[in-house]
């Protein structure tokens, strides 16, 4: 299958390793990965902040870039390592298109909503693509995923509630060889990021983050995994600020689902030259 | 639907009363966050109700179908509102009741006062012409919204709340912080202290044992029930088909008010009307489970007009708009009027849990308040501008809502209205805010892959700014909110786009998938 990678703006600029890992997994399964160069951002930040006027060109760019590839057969589906960006493509793009028509915006295209829906219908979150389309249920057996250690898992709101990912992400993590997934108390509670919410309501957002960080550290896991780089940046920012460490004294980190799945015996996930997860020196378990 | 057939002005009246923020949400919330005891009380209470709700909801195999049915009935009611209200009036009147219409809080308050005056003096009144000076009340959000108690107090009429939690709030000279559990922010010890301080004739040895507290309240209220000549209630439902009003409660104090006094005045929002009696079958399953986590509430009272010689003989209903037609006219927001005031959204909201109900300023706190209050007053009104932003859009409220109000989507819509409205103001020639500039700049950069790529070449600058710890821990301007409690990792030396270009370039041309041009 030919798969377009929608890296998302935050992964592209801040976490290229997550995009690399996504490519790695898909190529390991024998698929061809394409990176449409015109892509930029899903526009979620603008939409959620009420700047629909500014969201329109961002949405138009996304729809134009990806529909061109679908139409020409350059790729069959698109995938993003982010539940919230996929939710935005699926649920917000048509809304922005309708809004533009309703508000008589200059150059508003009455076909944009339908085109956006068509792009949205072929766009998948990573775990969704892996399980529902590519039939991956056992990461160790099918991807050779290997990462010794303990991890806890935060299901991000948009993946959980808008995409109904259910236990797809967690299931994939649990099937990685050597990895123990520890239950996170109040896992379904928002981490407090919410895009510009974290700036406009910084105090409430910080209080939500403090509880999330405390719950993560309470599990004793070496890292918190998730499927959204933005939530992980928020949680990781809190862990870093509070200088949180595991019982064995290593920093508690965040790690993206794609990085965990891409980790193998031959090339395990490393932080600072050490095996990623705490409590497992030398990788022995 | 036209404005003419509805008999409403082209610009529906704004709602007034206790539905406006007292100060911007972020500021109020910051202060409330500092109240550690309150946060503990709130977390404990919301988690308890939340867990109970999940348990009883999971018992029903047709819960999703029930939600759909509730949503459909409410949609129908909103579409047929003028017709259903007329039918309700006809039926209510035919059964001996009197209907009054109130455009806003001021009108509703005035009507209620006149009805109380007309009810004749009670035993404690100063003279025969003063009318009643004491009334008992069934817990009601509509009367909270219009500020009825405060209005009556200023005019020498004491309105006694009989719902235990409302009583606690009233005695504590406090405001409700939750629509179902108004005293949710108080714990037992705090309640005992309020009773000892404020309840006349209370046992000075009162403990904080729940039973002892309830008995003290019971003794206090019993005297009020027996002496009051007038009761005031809200309504959970008004059945158009039969002219029936309904109240759902847990303690039986409401029923005392509904049966003992001579005069009963109900204040009901126009959106409470249901087409048919059989619709209750849906809502009586949805409401108790969503609100208190019970399979059925202890007391459901339904009354239809006057029964000679039994119960109140003067029965009135004040049908209240107070901004509701304004909300109804908002195509994207009108489903906020589907709300059955169950409070499930509050109990699952991470923002409400931390900031508490007072931070919203309005009678309606939490996620539903964040959309309902601005819809009632109109988003162009300054009073409720910060409320649509008081959410991380996590979606827990939409999941919990028994009538499927898509609160996150309406929040986004209201934010859009707010931004547009600020832009279109005559004074919009003012300098754009830092936020406006950031959004405009980001829109320019993020609507074109080539521009993004160009900007990403600046990533090494960010890496340099991160310094030796590899993180950025202080940002200026609007970014300062972020770095008050969170670091930002050092950006990578290269974006993925740059890495991919190198990889792509190193592969033989025939191997390379045909990508489109750099920009579009």
For residue A92, the chain B residues in CB contact (below 8 A) are 412
Find the CB nearest A199 among B450, B478, B515.
B478
Q: Taking a C-beta distance cutoff of 8 angstroms, is the pair A140, A177 a contact? A: yes
How high is the pLDDT of residue B11?
65
Residue B285 Rama label (left phi>0; alpha psi -120 to 50; beta): alpha
Q: Taking a C-beta distance cutoff of 8 angstroms, is the pair B52, B292 a contact? A: yes
Confidence at A285, pLDDT banded by 50, 70, 90: very low
What mean pLDDT comes out for the span B345-352?
A: 97
What mean pLDDT comes out for the span B74-95?
A: 98
- Cβ–Cβ gap B29/A208 under 8 Å: no
Q: Taking a C-beta distance cutoff of 8 angstroms, is the pair B288, B344 a contact? A: no
Tokens representing A44 are: 């979620």
Question: Is the pLDDT assigned to residue B372 strictly greater than 80?
Answer: yes
- Which residue would you say has higher pLDDT here, B425 or B485? B485
Name the closest residue on chain B to residue A194, using Cα atoms: B392
pLDDT tens column, A54-85:
999 999 999 999 999 999 999 999 999 999 99
CA distance B94 to B304: 10
pLDDT tens column, A196-209:
999 999 999 999 99
CA distance A188 to B39: 19
Q: Taking a C-beta distance cutoff of 8 angstroms, is the pair B408, B370 a contact? A: no
pLDDT tens column, B112-123:
999 999 987 766
- Cβ–Cβ gap A40/B451 under 8 Å: yes
Confidence at A273, pLDDT banded by 50, 70, 90: confident
B315 beta partners: B264
Find the CB nearest B513 among A34, A158, A234.
A34
What mean pLDDT comes out for the span B306-313?
A: 95
How high is the pLDDT of residue A12?
97
- Cβ–Cβ gap B485/A34 under 8 Å: no
Query: Where is A271: in which H helix or E strand?
Result: strand A270-271
pLDDT tens column, B425-449:
776 556 778 899 999 999 999 999 9
- Cβ–Cβ gap A7/B489 under 8 Å: no
- Cβ–Cβ gap A208/B500 under 8 Å: no
Distance from CA of A285 to the nearest CA of B (A): 30
Sequence-ordered alpha helix ranges (H) in chain A: 9-14, 16-28, 44-48, 52-72, 83-87, 93-102, 112-121, 126-128, 139-143, 157, 168-174, 197-200, 202-219, 229-241, 257-262
pLDDT tens column, B408-424:
999 999 999 999 988 88
pLDDT tens column, B390-410:
999 999 999 999 999 999 999
Question: Is the pLDDT assigned to residue B342 strictly greater than 70?
Answer: yes
How high is the pLDDT of residue B518?
39
For residue B418, the chain A residues in CB contact (below 8 A) are 50
pLDDT tens column, B256-277:
999 999 999 999 999 999 999 9
CA distance A132 to A137: 9
pLDDT tens column, A5-51:
999 999 999 999 999 999 999 999 999 999 999 999 999 999 999 99
pLDDT tens column, A117-176:
999 999 999 999 999 999 999 999 999 999 999 999 999 999 999 999 999 999 999 999
Question: Is the pLDDT assigned to residue B508 strictly greater than 80?
Answer: no
Percent of chain B with pLDDT over 70: 92
- Cβ–Cβ gap B33/A54 under 8 Å: no
What mean pLDDT comes out for the span B381-386?
A: 88
CA distance B517 to B520: 6
ipTM (interface predicted TM): 0.96
What mean pLDDT comes out for the span A221-249?
A: 95
pLDDT tens column, B208-242:
999 999 999 999 999 899 999 999 999 999 999 99
Find the CB nearest B486 among A16, A46, A209.
A209
B97, B101, B105, B109 alpha-carbon torsion, rounded to 10°: -40
How high is the pLDDT of residue B462?
85
Question: Is the pLDDT assigned to residue B28 strictly greater than 90?
Answer: yes
Name the closest residue on chain A to residue B400, using Cα atoms: A161
Question: Is the pLDDT assigned to residue A280 strictly greater than 70?
Answer: no
- Cβ–Cβ gap B517/A203 under 8 Å: no
Question: Is the pLDDT assigned to residue B478 strictly greater than 90?
Answer: no
Name the closest residue on chain A to residue B459, using Cα atoms: A13
- Cβ–Cβ gap B398/A161 under 8 Å: yes
B477 Cβ partners below 8 Å, 6+ apart? Answer: B434
CA distances in angstroms from A258 to A69, A271, B377, listed in the order given: 24, 15, 47
Question: Is the pLDDT assigned to residue A116 strictly greater than 50?
Answer: yes
Mean pLDDT of chain B: 91
């Amino acid at each position: 299958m030919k798969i377009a990678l929608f890296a998302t703006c935050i992964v592209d600029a801040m976490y290229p390793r997550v995009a690399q890992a996504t490519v790695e997994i898909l190529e390991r399964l024998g698929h061809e990965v394409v990176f449409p160069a015109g892509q930029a951002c899903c526009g979620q930040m603008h939409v959620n902040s009420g700047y629909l006027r500014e969201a329109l060109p961002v949405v138009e760019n996304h729809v134009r870039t990806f529909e061109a590839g679908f139409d020409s057969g350059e790729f069959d589906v698109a995938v993003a390592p982010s539940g919230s960006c996929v939710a935005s493509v699926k649920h917000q793009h048509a809304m922005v298109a309708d809004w533009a028509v309703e508000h008589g915006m200059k150059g508003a295209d009455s076909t944009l909503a339908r085109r956006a829906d068509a792009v949205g219908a072929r766009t998948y979150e990573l775990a969704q693509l892996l399980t529902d389309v590519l039939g991956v249920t056992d990461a160790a057996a099918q991807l050779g995923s290997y990462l010794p250690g303990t991890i806890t898992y935060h299901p991000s709101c948009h993946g959980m509630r808008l995409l109904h990912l259910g236990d797809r992400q967690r299931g994939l993590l649990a099937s990685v060889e050597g990895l123990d997934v520890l239950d996170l108390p109040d896992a379904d509670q928002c981490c407090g990021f919410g895009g510009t919410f974290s700036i406009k309501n910084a105090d409430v957002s910080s209080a939500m983050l403090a509880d999330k960080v405390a719950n993560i550290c309470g599990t004793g896991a070496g890292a918190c995994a998730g499927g959204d780089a933005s939530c992980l940046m928020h949680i990781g920012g809190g862990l870093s600020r509070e200088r949180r460490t595991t019982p064995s004294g290593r920093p508690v980190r965040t790690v993206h689902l794609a990085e965990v799945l891409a980790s193998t015996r031959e090339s395990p996930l490393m932080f600072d030259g050490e095996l990623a997860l705490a409590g497992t020196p030398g990788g022995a378990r | 639907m036209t404005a003419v057939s509805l008999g409403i002005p082209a610009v529906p009246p704004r709602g007034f009363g206790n539905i406006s923020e007292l100060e911007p949400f972020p500021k109020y919330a910051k202060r409330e966050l500092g109240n550690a005891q309150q946060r503990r009380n709130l977390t404990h209470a919301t988690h308890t109700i939340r867990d109970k709700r999940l348990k009883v909801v999971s018992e029903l195999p047709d819960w999703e179908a029930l939600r759909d049915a509730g949503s459909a009935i409410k949609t129908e009611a909103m579409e047929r509102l003028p017709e259903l209200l007329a039918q309700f009036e006809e039926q209510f009147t035919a059964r001996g009741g009197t209907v009054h219409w109130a455009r806003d809080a001021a009108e509703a308050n005035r009507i209620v006062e006149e009805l109380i005056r007309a009810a004749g003096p009670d035993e404690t009144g100063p003279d025969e012409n003063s009318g009643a000076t004491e009334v008992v009340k069934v817990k009601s959000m509509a009367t909270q919204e219009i500020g009825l108690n405060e209005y009556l107090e200023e005019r020498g009429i004491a309105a006694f709340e009989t719902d235990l939690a409302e009583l606690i709030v009233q005695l504590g000279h406090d405001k409700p912080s939750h629509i179902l559990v108004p005293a949710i922010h108080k714990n037992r010890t705090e309640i005992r202290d309020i009773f000892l301080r404020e309840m006349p004739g209370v046992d000075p040895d009162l403990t904080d044992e729940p039973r002892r507290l309830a008995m003290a309240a019971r003794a206090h209220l019993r005297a009020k029930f027996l002496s009051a000549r007038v009761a005031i209630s809200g309504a959970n439902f008004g059945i158009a088909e039969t002219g029936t009003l309904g109240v759902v409660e847990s303690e039986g104090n409401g029923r005392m008010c509904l049966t003992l006094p001579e005069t009963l005045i109900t204040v009901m929002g126009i959106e409470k009307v249901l087409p048919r009696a059989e619709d209750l079958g849906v809502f009586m399953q949805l409401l108790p489970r969503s609100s208190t986590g019970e399979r059925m509430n202890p007391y459901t009272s339904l009354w239809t007009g006057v029964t000679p010689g039994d119960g109140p003989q003067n029965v009135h209903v004040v049908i209240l708009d107070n901004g509701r037609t304004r909300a109804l006219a908002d195509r994207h927001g009108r489903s906020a009027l589907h709300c059955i005031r169950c409070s499930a959204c509050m109990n699952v909201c991470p923002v409400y849990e931390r900031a508490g109900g007072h931070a919203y300023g309005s009678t309606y706190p939490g996620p539903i308040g964040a959309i309902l209050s601005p819809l009632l007053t109109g988003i162009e009104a300054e009073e409720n501008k910060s409320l649509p932003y008081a959410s991380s859009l996590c979606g827990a409220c939409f999941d919990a809502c028994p009538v499927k109000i898509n609160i996150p989507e309406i929040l986004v819509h209201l934010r859009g209205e707010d931004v547009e409205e600020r832009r279109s103001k005559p004074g919009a020639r003012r300098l754009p805010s830092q936020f406006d500039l950031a959004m405009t700049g980001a829109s320019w950069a993020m609507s074109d892959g080539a521009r993004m790529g160009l900007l990403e070449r600046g990533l090494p600058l960010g890496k340099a700014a991160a310094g030796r710890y590899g993180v950025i821990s202080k940002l200026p301007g609007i970014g300062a909110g972020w770095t008050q409690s969170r670091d930002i990792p050092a950006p990578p030396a290269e974006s993925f786009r740059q890495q991919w270009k190198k990889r792509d370039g190193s592969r033989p041309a025939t191997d390379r998938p045909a990508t489109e041009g750099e920009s579009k």
